[in-house]
Structure 1
Amino acid sequence: MATKRYVPAIGPKLQWVLRIVLGLFAVLCVNSVYLAAVTLLQSRAASGAYGGGDYENNFYQWMFFIHLVLGLAIVVPVVVFGCIHIANARNRPNKRAIRAGYATFATALGVLVTGVALTRVDIGALTINLKDPASRSVVYWLHVILPLAAAWLFVLHRLAGRRIKWKTGARWALVAAVFAGGMVLFHLWNPRVAREGPRNPDYWEPSLARTATGRFIPASILDNSDECLECHADIHHQWSHSVHAFSSFNNPLYTFSVRKTREHAFAHDGHVQDARFCAGCHDPVPFFSGAFELAKWDDPNYDVASDPLGKASITCTVCHSITSINGVRGNADYTISEPERYPFEGSTNPVLKWVSQQLIKAKPAFHKRTFLKPEVHRSAEFCSTCHKVFLPEELNDYKWLRGQNHYDSWRLSGVSGRGVAAWYYPPAPQTSCNACHMPTVASNDFGAKVRDESGVLTVRNHMFPSANTAIPVLAPMTDPQAVIRAHEQFNQGVMRLDLMALREGGTLEGTLHAPLRPSVPALVPGESYMLDAVVRTVKMGHEFTQGTADSNEIWLDVTLLAGGRVIGRSGGMDEGGGLDPWSRFYNIFLLDREGRRIDR
């Protein structure tokens, strides 16, 4: 009878596989300890410990990426080694070692399975996306605990079998310690502080906007709204039809105004610094990247509206990178920080771009914390930075003057819950601008969530419906009529016009007939009458009209009928679009120091 050939439990070739497994496992251990420590620090900071702050920085994201790469790299070696090793050793007499080996292999497979389950991957038709928070939490903690169990079972397996080579383990521990020390050093290094800065510290003036470091932020980082489109298609579509997306040189009205400002500033001072007053709100991308000084913005033959920086306007990253509000003075009184980025974020390489997207989906908490700061972005003070304006003396060479001011108007109204002299009060105070100007809309966007008992997924509307129906027509929006309809729908019922009284003789001293309901006086043909009308807001959180009140075109269109026949009209327009000069306007005149109207 032939003797069965002896097969070692771990042969020479399998020994190399084991070394690969142990090497990858050692690096993964150090990597995992780093990730766990930083995650714990971040969790404690979120609860108010250590003074808050962000610990999950760019290097943390690189370590997370390496964790995924190493995790995928170890799958095949573990499976190959485990299967072959079990096949070679399953009939050995040391049953205790075999049982411990089975348990170790099963636990290792559990680590791999839970790791894959925690990723969010889209490859063609294959999608791995565990969204349920409760299930994800269970899988996460299994992924944390199982490696510890696997290490313990491996030690039991070795104790029941061949003697453990502790010196070899010590060498691996030394390598791990070196890696750990390097991780700490790289974690403390912030690559963002190495940016170029302005030549003069007063570069930002007279705007009040500042960067957190005092240095420039690359335009490629601020102007990347197309990257947001990948996961936030609905929000991107809304934003692309908002006035925010047409705030800069792609807005013909603003282009004319800012070019005149630059022209006057250069003629008066020899530089265009005064125009930075506008840039903090209207041109943040060229402003914060240091490109606002370029001569191309003043070249009448250059198509500034098609320039990538000229049409960037207020991008997603600009708004969501504002980290603090420095006051309620307006004039862009905020601080913007260069956002921490994931590995390969912003890459034009399709593969690297895909990797970056998967990392964001796999670790979305960092992305959300970077770009959404509730204490900032949900506050009315956030909006006040650009919806409240004053003209400083150094800008007009005259004196301090108030400009548009939505913020104080809202704050002193009944809508805010703070105004004591309001005409009306809503059922509940609106404590932020978002409640009105960012209504919820149904969406399957990646950032959508259930906000009420309806169970419908919604997002905040980033079109910011309000009252500007001129820009949709003048700017290159893809569906201007839909935008105009959205504004018109938003404005239903926000104003009320009451015909209060009628005065005979067309003068204040004439006989007064009031109120005009339920009885209406009969009018005598040929006589003159004065009609008293009251226009008031009934669903608006600030005065009417606001914003660029000097250029807003608002008037009353009043038609008098007798037996269905028009006998008089005020506020009509002729065939050429000309308006009746006797119309009753609701606007203001801006006057210069000599009392002349400023009309440009």
Structure 2
Amino acid sequence: MAEPTLNTSTSASGRRQLASLLPATLKRLLAVAVGLAGFMLANTLYLLLVRLADRVGLEPFALDEATLPPFYQVLLLAHTGAGLLLAVLMAAFLVAHLPRVWRRFHHEAAWTGVPYAAVGVGLVASGLFIFAEAATRGNSWVWWLHSGAAVLALAGYAAHRAVSHTRPPATRLARFLGVGTAASLALFVVHGGLAMREGAYREAGERPATAGSESSQATAGPGAGVPGGVNRDAARMLRGDFGPSGWVPAGAVPPESPFFPSPATTSTGDFLAADFLVRHGAAVGTGAIRAEAEARGFASETRIGSGSCERCHADIVDQWATSAHRFASFNNPFYEATIAAMRSEPRESNRWIDRHLASPGIAAGGVGRAASKWCSGCHDPVLLFAGGMGREIDRNSPAAQAGLTCLSCHAIDRIHDRTGNGNYNIADAAESPYIFAGSPPRSLGGLLHDAVIRSRPAVHSTRMLKPFFRESTYCATCHKVGLSEPVNNYRWLRGQNEFDSWDDSGVSLNAARTFYLPAARRVCQDCHMPLEPAPRGDMAAANGLVRSHRFLGANTALPYLRGDTATLRRIEDFLRAEKLRVDVFAVRA
């Protein structure tokens, strides 16, 4: 390729102008890069305007804690994609450009070009850090660094061109900034218009409910008059069933609920999709799960229902994988023996079970199968909410070997009351706010889905981490048990009840009968979910620590059966760490 002629001229300012050293190919490359930079300018200003609207609460442009418009998400992904493409183009331009201009060394161009290139490297590095490590509050300093680097990069490019021997007209930069700003305002207006339309749909209830979505706070609407729905009026549905006074005991369940006698509900009041609580886990490693369950009696090697979560929460999933929660269903031989006997042995029916079996849509599976739903609200939610408890159960299936999956707890958006027995709601009425939510793991859609979550994790955190998750009442829903007449054909009897024991102890600072009060109140999570190091870089970690999902207690039988000596040692250490103190006083000789 022929070198360009080095003709010289004098500008209006008296400064010597030299012919450009850029061949036609590099000029085209630079033109594409500048055009892409214009898109990045408009895109960045739009994202900043949305962030500002969030900060000041400017409706309808602000993003709430439960929704994330697809338009915004597409531009968020476009920001990352276009930014990486621009970085590649500028790197290619720099490699080709530097040897040519070095022969015509220009001090001012060097003093502006080198810092400009360094700022560009910092801009890309900070953007990749946000992409990989999530834009959380703990990483907010990186966001500010990234934003500052973007401003410096624009200023650096303008300064570099201004001092070069082939300066563009001054109006070109003004036109570039003007077009970029106008485009960003247009994007912002479109964003607001789409948000207004989306809000109108939500208020009118026109959006269809979709099963298989992330959780959202259910209020009035879905399931309002449905026996298995979140907003059911159990007192009205059961009025007269407990005597002429109309009194209905707390925690009573309408027999017409598909989950009866479990008090658990769903937002829609209906069964969930088979893979709702396992998120693609029902089809992952089915052969291996079945083979291990047949050989050992339970499956422990394949982690069912945690695959999509593990990509961002590796440490938490590692902890959960050894917990008693994970081995709560048919992967627990002790529980399996109990539930199998309950379902197979002849049982006398009662008026409640008869009403349940006569309800529309309920499988006529017999008294034992119907009564076993009382257990499955806390032990087999994957089976219960998919309608599996009313049928013959394949104990070697992924659904039976899943135990309590991540969403079994994190899809709960309401605890109905303090009566326990699984008295919670699984939110299934709202679509996932993130695009590509239905994409399988390790697919392009799954990668983009994870990228959006990492770029805007606040909505995901709001949906998956409710405020009441930090309260003992949350644990009480399954750690407070009472057997009712539909289950035992007798009357209400107290069962295993850790919640009331805690509530009546000094630790809760809620009991007047205790001898000693600790210095501070402690809830269940303080002892059973202590902070634990996260060596794999879990994105939920704060200062390198996450809340332990081992849920250590006194169960040494399950890890013993699995040969899990590490978990055995942890439980022993947990029980020996000043968990019990015996005080002897008022002793007389």
Instruction: Please state which band the TM-score falls in when normalised by the shorter chain.
Output: 0.5 to 0.7
Q: Which residue of 1 aligns with 2:210?
A: 194
AA of the residue aligned to 2:423: D
AA of the residue aligned to 1:145: V
Q: Which residue of 1 aligns with 2:337?
A: 256
Give the drift of 1:407. 1.8
Deviates further, 179-188 or 399-408: 179-188
AA of the residue aligned to 1:278: C
Gaps in structure 1 of 5+ consecutive residues: 501-513, 519-600
- For 2:521 and 2:136, the matched residues in 1 are separated by 39
- For 1:73 and 1:265, the matched residues in 2 are separated by 70
Query: Is the 2:123–2:149 contact (alpha carbons within 8 Å) kept by the matching residues of 1?
Result: yes
1:287 paired to 2:384: yes
Distance 1:388 1:238, change over 3 A: same
- For 1:416 and 1:28, the matched residues in 2 are separated by 54
Alignment of 1:87-106 (within 5 A): none
Alignment of 1:13-162 (within 5 A): 13-14=25-26, 16-40=28-52, 53-56=65-68, 60-80=72-92, 110-111=119-120, 113-120=122-129, 133=139, 136-143=142-149, 145-146=151-152, 149=155, 159-160=169-170
Query: Is the 2:4–2:21 contact (alpha carbons within 8 Å) kept by the matching residues of 1?
Result: no
Helix, strand or coil: the match of 1:309?
Answer: helix
Query: Is the 1:248–1:311 contact (alpha carbons within 8 Å) kept by the matching residues of 2?
Result: yes
- For 2:4 and 2:151, the matched residues in 1 are separated by 45
Q: Which residue of 2 aligns with 1:415?
A: 507
* Aligned with residue 528 of structure 2, among 422, 429, 437: 437
AA of the residue aligned to 2:388: F
Distance 1:472 1:85, change over 3 A: closer
Distance 1:413 1:5, change over 3 A: closer
AA of the residue aligned to 1:428: A
Helix, strand or coil: the match of 1:194?
Answer: coil
Alignment of 1:185-264 (within 5 A): 185=194, 188=198, 193-195=209-211, 202-212=257-267, 216=272, 218-221=276-279, 223-230=304-311, 232-263=313-344
- For 1:3 and 1:141, the matched residues in 2 are separated by 38
1:484 paired to 2:565: no
- For 2:266 and 2:120, the matched residues in 1 are separated by 43
- For 1:44 and 1:328, the matched residues in 2 are separated by 38
Distance 1:200 1:259, change over 3 A: farther
Distance 1:253 1:340, change over 3 A: farther
- For 1:3 and 1:497, the matched residues in 2 are separated by 93
AA of the residue aligned to 1:203: P
Helix, strand or coil: the match of 1:24?
Answer: helix
- For 2:388 and 2:94, the matched residues in 1 are separated by 62
Alignment of 1:470-549 (within 5 A): 470-474=557-561, 477-479=562-564, 481-492=565-576, 494-495=579-580
AA of the residue aligned to 1:469: T
Post-superposition CA distance 1:212-271 (Å, at most 9, x none): 565636244285324444554443333222210111111122223334444559996334
Distance 1:232 1:160, change over 3 A: closer
Greater relative contact order (Cα < 8 A, sep 6+): 2
Query: Is the 2:503–2:511 contact (alpha carbons within 8 Å) kept by the matching residues of 1?
Result: yes
Q: Which residue of 1 aligns with 2:537?
A: 446
- For 1:447 and 1:134, the matched residues in 2 are separated by 17
AA of the residue aligned to 2:264: A
- For 2:114 and 2:185, the matched residues in 1 are separated by 23
Q: Which residue of 1 aligns with 2:549?
A: 462
Give the paired residue count: 477
* Aligned with residue 397 of structure 2, among 275, 291, 307: 307
Helix, strand or coil: the match of 2:398?
Answer: coil
AA of the residue aligned to 2:146: Y
- For 2:193 and 2:375, the matched residues in 1 are separated by 43
Query: Is the 2:4–2:22 contact (alpha carbons within 8 Å) kept by the matching residues of 1?
Result: no
- For 1:19 and 1:79, the matched residues in 2 are separated by 14
Distance 1:109 1:70, change over 3 A: farther
1:372 paired to 2:465: yes
Deviates further, 195-204 or 269-278: 195-204
AA of the residue aligned to 1:285: V
Q: Which residue of 1 aligns with 2:250?
A: none
Give the drift of 1:484. 3.5
Helix, strand or coil: the match of 2:145?
Answer: helix
Give the drift of 1:12. 5.4
Distance 1:61 1:425, change over 3 A: same
Helix, strand or coil: the match of 1:246?
Answer: coil
Q: Which residue of 2 aligns with 1:330?
A: 420
Tell me the TM-score normalised to structure 1 length.
0.62
Q: Which residue of 2 aligns with 1:406?
A: 498
Deviates further, 327-336 or 263-272: 263-272
1:276 paired to 2:357: no
Q: Give the greater-gyration-radius structure (CA).
A: 1
AA of the residue aligned to 1:258: I
AA of the residue aligned to 1:279: S
Distance 1:337 1:170, change over 3 A: same
- For 2:22 and 2:440, the matched residues in 1 are separated by 44
Helix, strand or coil: the match of 2:326?
Answer: helix
Query: Is the 1:344–1:356 contact (alpha carbons within 8 Å) kept by the matching residues of 2?
Result: yes
Q: Which residue of 2 aligns with 1:590?
A: none
Gaps in structure 2 of 5+ consecutive residues: 8-18, 213-221, 229-256, 282-303, 358-363
- For 1:243 and 1:207, the matched residues in 2 are separated by 21
AA of the residue aligned to 2:142: R
- For 2:92 and 2:502, the matched residues in 1 are separated by 68
Distance 1:13 1:483, change over 3 A: closer
Give the drift of 1:10. 7.2
Deviates further, 385-394 or 339-348: 339-348
- For 1:386 and 1:117, the matched residues in 2 are separated by 44
Give the drift of 1:18. 4.4
Post-superposition CA distance 1:55-104 (Å, at most 9, x none): 54676555433321111111133345578789999999xx9xx9899969
- For 1:149 and 1:225, the matched residues in 2 are separated by 46
Give the drift of 1:433. 0.3
Give the drift of 1:389. 2.8
- For 2:190 and 2:160, the matched residues in 1 are separated by 26
Query: Is the 2:483–2:492 contact (alpha carbons within 8 Å) kept by the matching residues of 1?
Result: yes
AA of the residue aligned to 1:248: S
Distance 1:445 1:478, change over 3 A: farther
Deviates further, 19-28 or 357-366: 357-366
Give the drift of 1:9. 7.4
Post-superposition CA distance 1:122-175 (Å, at most 9, x none): 99xxx9999985852541331453466479879987542669879x98699679
